[in-house]
Amino acid sequence: MTRSAAIIGGGVIGGGWAARFALMGWNVRIFDPDPQAERKLGEVMANARRSLPMLYDRDMPAEGTITFHNTIAEVVEGVAWVQESVPERLEVKHKVFAEIQAHLDPEAVIGSSTSGFKPSELQAGAKDPTQIVVTHPFNPVYLLPLVELVPGDTHDPRAVDWAREVMTEIGMYPLQVRAEIDAHIADRFLEAVWREALWLVKDGIATTEEIDNAIRYGFGLRWAQMGLFETYRVAGGEAGMKHFMAQFGPALEWPWTKLMDVPEFNDELVDLIAGQSDDQSGHLTIRELERLRDDNLVAMMRALKQQDAAAGALLNAHQRGMRQPLGDAVPLVTVRRTVPVDWTDYNGHMNESRYGQVFSDAADALMIHVGCDETYIANGNSYFTAETHVKYLAETHAGDAFDVASRVLIGEGKKLKAYHEMRTPAGEIIATCEQFMLHVNLTTRKSCPPLPEVLARVEALAAAHKDA
């Protein structure tokens, strides 16, 4: 049964939530009085539909429906989750929560996207305070997995468990904040860096572009895969964290920063920052900047995925749960996915080496289907590719969806010959591959017959595909 989520407020954050839920198979109901809400969400969805599937090497869930509603009473009817993303004004949030709870199923949970308010502030005067938790995401919500889950002092463990389950189901990482604190965890770091950056610009030490370069070419990449404390632990060398603390702890008393002092936020400073920012990237539209941002995030997170580290390990764990049996169709659809941005080359299309990846993935799916899975391989048996013939028939580009239809042409003894067709959603053949594999004993590294149960499945496929 497809679950439904209500999104209250469809701006940048609410639209990102809508995209994340819908692309993970939830039906999404939206309330936003802005007459441009549907257009704006359509633009966010276009970016999300292009970029989020590129993070995964499996077929995405069937996209949920997106509907717009005229009242809060109507939008929350029958939903399992409500995500509130209205403006950061406490009186507005209280009014919205009251209206939501007047019509919401008592078993549902309300998550607030607030970046600054504590749960106790949100829950004040609520019909059921325990139904409200903070679930603070980061933009773009449809790509970045972190969500700060803040239950507050007054909470129901069931609601917290449900919040964690929902966030995990849609591919997020719920970081539960241990106690209420202004701005939660991450935004306190961001605020500290932001204040120091304002001083560096104001004092003429660096321009906005130079500061951004310091982050994106240096510690930003390091933090992205290791965080703060683990980074410093590595900096301590073999002696570890204690050595680092002994060496660099005294630096905390040095006058390196102005974090406890805030520059006057006047028109002069605003104009200075805005002007430098225009010089830096004013030649690009917001949509172009968003596309650049999304492509960079996809490429970085896919690189981490290949290493099974940090956000990449989270993606690997999430996509393992997305694997579905191939079924009995003829031919077998062994691959369904989207071309990632890091598969394209200087010609702007998918590089020929990546076709090998596509057909290798198809062969892996075929092997798993016949029982040559991780356990079988761990026990010392596998199939090795001995020969391939690939034909490239059409171009394909980043963001293009495709599938692979596979047939077993020969399945006898130690031989397995397969034929794969890479196709567009409209059925156009992009490339074909004829692949000859031999079953191998991984100890002797010599070809040998497969175990009987695998051989029987291979022979059955070959018979079923013979006249297809």
Q: Give the percent of the chain with pLDDT over 70.
A: 97
Q: Give every CB contact of residue 90 below 8 A, 6+ residues apart in sequence.
A: 117, 121, 122
Whose CA is closest to 141, among 225, 24, 242? 24
Looking at the structure, do residues 113 and 221 belong to the same domain, yes or no? no
Q: Give every CB contact of residue 277 below 8 A, 6+ residues apart in sequence.
A: 208
151/156 Cα distance (integer angstroms):
8
The neighbour count for residue 236, using CB atoms within 10 Å, is 16
210 is a domain residue: yes
The neighbour count for residue 307, using CB atoms within 10 Å, is 11
Task: Give me the pLDDT at residue 240, please.
Answer: 73
Query: In terms of C-beta density within 10 A (0-12 exposed, 13-18 middle, 19 or more buried), how is residue 451 classed?
Result: middle
Say if residue 468's pLDDT is above 80: no
Residue 37 pLDDT level (bands cut at 50, 70, 90):
very high
Looking at the structure, do residues 94 and 127 belong to the same domain, yes or no? yes
322 is a domain residue: no
Phi-psi category of residue 413: left, alpha or beta, with phi > 0 → left and psi -120 to 50 → alpha: left
Distances (CA, A) of 301 to 55, 228, 314, 344, 424: 7, 18, 10, 16, 25
326 is a domain residue: no
Cβ(126)–Cβ(41) under 8 Å? no
Predicted model pTM: 0.83
Omega cis (within 30) before 450: no
**What is the mean pLDDT of the segment spanning 418-439?**
98
Looking at the structure, do residues 147 and 225 belong to the same domain, yes or no? no
Length of the chain: 468
Say if residue 185's pLDDT is above 90: yes
Task: Give me the pLDDT at residue 322, please.
Answer: 87
Which has more confidence, 243 or 87?
Answer: 87
Which has more confidence, 257 or 309?
Answer: 309
Looking at the structure, do residues 160 and 246 belong to the same domain, yes or no? no
Task: Give me the pLDDT at residue 1, please.
Answer: 64
Average pLDDT, the chain: 93
* Alpha-carbon torsion angle 373, 379, 383, 386, nearest 10: 150
Looking at the structure, do residues 33 and 161 belong to the same domain, yes or no? yes
CATH code of the domain covering residue 166: 3.40.50.720
Whose CA is closest to 147, among 165, 131, 126, 121? 165
Strand partners, 23: none
Looking at the structure, do residues 70 and 216 belong to the same domain, yes or no? no
Q: Is 334 in a helix, a strand, or coil? A: strand
Task: Give me the pLDDT at residue 74, please.
Answer: 97
Task: Give me the pLDDT at residue 252, please.
Answer: 63
Q: List the single range of 130-144, 157-171, 222-236, 291-305 with lowest mean pLDDT.
A: 222-236
Q: What is the pLDDT of residues 133-183, one digit of tens each?
A: 999 999 999 999 999 999 988 899 999 999 999 999 999 999 999 999 999
**What is the mean pLDDT of the segment spanning 85-107?**
96
Say if residue 7's pLDDT is above 70: yes
Looking at the structure, do residues 169 and 252 belong to the same domain, yes or no? no
Cβ(424)–Cβ(430) under 8 Å? yes
Q: Per-residue DSSP letters for 59-86?
A: PPPPPPPEEE-SSHHHHTTT-SEEEE--
Q: Is 283 in a helix, a strand, or coil? A: coil
Which residues in 137-183 belong to E strands, given as ranges?
146-150, 173-176
Cβ(200)–Cβ(206) under 8 Å? yes
CATH code of the domain covering residue 270: 1.10.1040.10
Looking at the structure, do residues 371 and 460 belong to the same domain, yes or no? yes
The neighbour count for residue 314, using CB atoms within 10 Å, is 20
The residue among 251, 283, 315 that closes a domain is 283
Q: Give every CB contact of residue 119 below 8 A, 6+ residues apart in sequence.
A: 132, 133, 134, 150, 151, 152, 153, 154, 155, 180
Task: Give me the pLDDT at residue 166, please.
Answer: 98
Residue 323 pLDDT level (bands cut at 50, 70, 90):
confident
The residue among 267, 283, 299 that closes a domain is 283
Domain that holds residue 344: 332-465
Task: Give me the pLDDT at residue 8, please.
Answer: 98
389/436 Cα distance (integer angstroms):
9
Say if residue 226's pLDDT is above 90: no
Cβ(85)–Cβ(113) under 8 Å? yes
The residue among 151, 176, 201 that closes a domain is 176
**What is the mean pLDDT of the segment spanning 7-33?**
97
